A and B are shown apart, each in its own frame.
Chain A
């Protein structure tokens, strides 16, 4: 086994051997990173559809004040399932699926380091997602976005909903940790000759940072989930305040995990954006070193800021300042990243194809979400804004900017590599503008409703007249909780536009599988190694693994091909020869 992961391996490959099993079984049991990656991407987009459905039902309940459309308990179940779906079943596996598909191609490897481990990781996640949704035939989870003990203990929720949540999140987290481990070993041991860390493409670099984050947060969450399950069914008191345990332990452990998940909405998108901008501006990043260093810093500092979500908790004020310092320090790498992206666009030759459009939209949406989050990083302002719909709005901007727009940018960019066909350009444009309009209309009213005091996660809000001071004989001093009906109506309208936009892109992807324009091996003129392989790549990826001489290996290869062709007649125009 140890010999199998060194770069020097026999160049003998066999393919085209007739398979004895049906095609779907071949893919489901495949150790080929491309099959696993496709499985992950397809499953994550499928779960996204379900999560969006739950989101729309929640928004329908909140369309008018004191709505009775959905029962409170049903609402809480939808809320719990929606949050788990969008983070655990969509954002993380979409990023990991793209990483699993592309990292071996980008580093010039023929496979992942542990092919079958990748398959196991993908199936753990898919089974976790199935557990969550099959629970709708008995009891889905209902303990909120993050099931804090004691509410999630059997004393308060005795049905098995919380156990479902634990199983679903636990299986997925375990799967993601295994996928991350696999990516890290692949990145460390199987890079093509000459592909030093400093030459690593930003997307692969963000895969490395994301994988390190998952190796930290995955085990922390698995430990927390195990403790919660012991508390619930095996007489444990880890989080039981009456028996010397503390609910705050759960908050720390779960927020380390969810803070990591938050970073995993940003970093993979940042990696993809940093590949797409140079390709469609026809010039390199102004500093790949600064971009990669920023992503590493975001991963390292970001995790230290987990207590930013606990500023209202009764923790010593010194720790609040530590978390505030870490959260504010994130301005530096994030700022450098944004400046580098803008600098890369400057004096470029920008070709506005669909991936570029989505990448620019991702930058715009992320910038709004992250600056909104900046206000939450400062303790006193956090005391005002935390747990109002303002925090939902800020997180929503980052989720849509990073995972949705960033994910769609990556999907449009690498779809021809994965399927051999381009995604429809005009549908992409309609989808893009619907998402951009929808995201503003959904989340800006949420900011305003939050400033007026609307609590997060609540199944209803009240009419303005409830707050007119009647019955007290006193005048109302504040104007909190006013105009919530207008804001929520706008948010619901925005949500439908946003979801329509996303679904249009998903439909476009499915349609393009069979109807898309056929793409060559390099439709965009990319500078990274995956564009050397055929589209879709053969099982062994590359006939010959090239030597890497710079951080733009495909550019070198194109130059070398052009040089050789210059004197000779254009006979062997399409040869994929490595740099001599």
Chain B
């Protein structure tokens, strides 16, 4: 209730660990200030007319207060840097994961060890849905299917306005900006469904811009990929046939032809 979603990826572990530190500090500070405030206001409440001593603080006391808050700020800063670096280190896929599944890609913000080969997925935000493209060119809308215990590199990209991608439990949230690639990663430790959403206001149906991550075993993942490719091919054939019947030239192909209603602007 007072914590974030339990972590199911190493980077989410880092985020959650620091969250509990900050929650403890914030609650302690707020309780200390409010407790002192209420106690002082009740203790020194008097009738009008009495003249209290006009106490003034000395400089060393103020410096001591500033110094102790300075130490707190410094400690938090160091913790922040350490955990940001740690959350940006892509871990190699585990033994249960998909092995050697994808080519190694150019590195930007994330530090990817040379011996890991993360599965690279492009998550593309568009008003008002998410489109996922897999290494073999297959794609899916709304749901992202990935193998368990596998390092997944998510390249974030937008076709229209700024969006923000986040699936609680699988790391942090990041901006999705047109013509600009930003990245995040996760390595899910449990098979099942994870829900997420867009977190940047993007117009009329922004609230409906949800997503879901289905984490399955590597074999199920491969089976799903084949099935999805077949479904897409079948849908394209159907569209081509329809177009042929109506006598229109089948100029549109691929992704655009099976895009759901409400897709691109």
Contact = CB atoms under 8 A, between A and B. Distances in A.
Q: Do A and B bind each other?
A: yes
B1 A386 contact: no
B240 interface: no
Given A248-B177, A451-B4, A453-B197, A282 B50 contact: yes
Interface string B28-69: 011001101100110011111011111111000010011011
Contacts of A560: none
Contact of A145 (B40, B45, B166, B201): B201
B62 A472 contact: no
B122 to A, nearest CB: 15
B207 A367 contact: no
A378 B18 contact: yes
B252 interface: no
Interface stretch (A13-21, A107-115, A343-351, A532-540): A343-351
Given A242-B179, A314-B180, A345-B37, A371 B201 contact: no
Given A314-B180, A343-B57, A476 B193 contact: yes
Given A248-B177, A342-B40, A469 B29 contact: no
Contact of B179 (A241, A281, A325, A328): A241
A472 B193 contact: yes
Contacts of A457: 201, 206
B201 to A, nearest CB: 4
A216 interface: no
A460 B4 CA distance: 21
A324 B77 contact: yes
B169 A477 contact: yes
A363 to B, nearest CB: 6
Given A150-B161, A350-B46, A314 B169 contact: no
Interface stretch (A169-177, A331-339, A415-423, A501-509): A331-339
A347 B177 contact: no
A350 B41 contact: yes
Interface size of A as a range: 35 or more
A474 B40 contact: no
B168 A453 contact: yes
Contact of B29 (A350, A367, A384): A367
Interface string A348-387: 1111100000001001100110011011011111011111
B207 A455 contact: yes
Interface string A67-105: 000001100100000000000000000000000000000
A317 B50 contact: no
B195 interface: yes
Residue picked from B168, B180, B205, most chain A C-beta under 10 Å: B168
Interface in B150-177: 160-162, 164, 166, 168-169, 171-175, 177
A247 interface: yes
Interface size of B as a range: 35 or more
Contacts of A476: 192-195
Contact of B193 (A150, A317, A477): A477
Contacts of B27: 371
A251 to B, nearest CB: 8
B84 interface: yes
Contact of B168 (A331, A342, A461, A478): A478
B182 interface: yes
Interface stretch (B8-16, B95-103, B113-121, B231-239): B8-16
A508 B127 CA distance: 47
Contacts of B104: none
A76 B143 CA distance: 27
A312 B216 contact: no
Interface string B197-228: 11111111111001010111000000000000
A151 B202 contact: yes
Interface in A288-338: 290, 312-314, 316-317, 320-321, 324-325, 328-329, 331-336, 338
A284 B41 contact: no
Contact of B52 (A156, A282, A316, A332): A282
Nearest to A477: B192
A514 interface: no
B55 A283 contact: yes
Interface in A430-469: 448, 451-453, 455-462, 467, 469
A349 B56 contact: no
A455 B201 CA distance: 9
B15 A380 contact: yes
A72 B204 contact: yes
Contacts, number: 305
B76 A328 contact: yes
Contacts of A73: 204
Contact of A148 (B66, B73, B83, B161): B161
B189 to A, nearest CB: 9
Contacts of A451: 1-5
A335 B66 contact: yes
A287 interface: yes
A455 B199 contact: yes
Contacts of B53: 283, 347
Contact of B84 (A144, A242, A317, A469): A317
Contact of B73 (A332, A383, A384): A332
Given A150-B178, A339-B65, A360 B41 contact: yes
Nearest to B199: A387
Contacts of B14: 380
A314 B179 CA distance: 12
Contacts of A348: 44, 52
Interface in A113-157: 142-145, 148, 150-151, 155-157
A479 interface: yes
Given A374-B25, A451-B2, A287 B84 contact: no
A480 interface: yes
A474 B44 contact: no
Contacts of B8: 477-478
B243 interface: no
Contacts of A324: 77, 80-81
Contacts of B194: 476-478, 480
Nearest to A294: B66
Given A312-B164, A314-B175, A478-B195, A347 B69 contact: no
A380 B2 contact: no
Contact of A384 (B16, B30, B180): B16
B215 A477 contact: yes
22 contacts: A144-B201, A145-B201, A148-B161, A151-B161, A312-B175, A313-B182, A314-B177, A317-B109, A321-B84, A328-B80, A331-B76, A332-B73, A345-B40, A346-B40, A347-B52, A367-B29, A380-B87, A381-B15, A383-B171, A383-B173, A384-B4, A451-B3
Which 6 A-B pairs give the minimum distances between C-beta atoms?
Answer: A383-B172, A335-B69, A314-B182, A144-B201, A458-B207, A477-B192
Given A347-B55, A380-B84, A455-B207, 18 more contacts: A76-B204, A148-B161, A151-B162, A241-B180, A283-B54, A287-B57, A314-B180, A328-B80, A331-B76, A332-B70, A335-B68, A340-B62, A347-B53, A371-B26, A379-B84, A386-B173, A474-B216, A481-B197
Interface of A: 72-73, 76, 142-145, 148, 150-151, 155-157, 241-242, 246-248, 281-284, 286-287, 290, 312-314, 316-317, 320-321, 324-325, 328-329, 331-336, 338-340, 342-343, 345-352, 360, 363-364, 367-368, 371-372, 374-375, 377-381, 383-388, 448, 451-453, 455-462, 467, 469, 472, 474-481
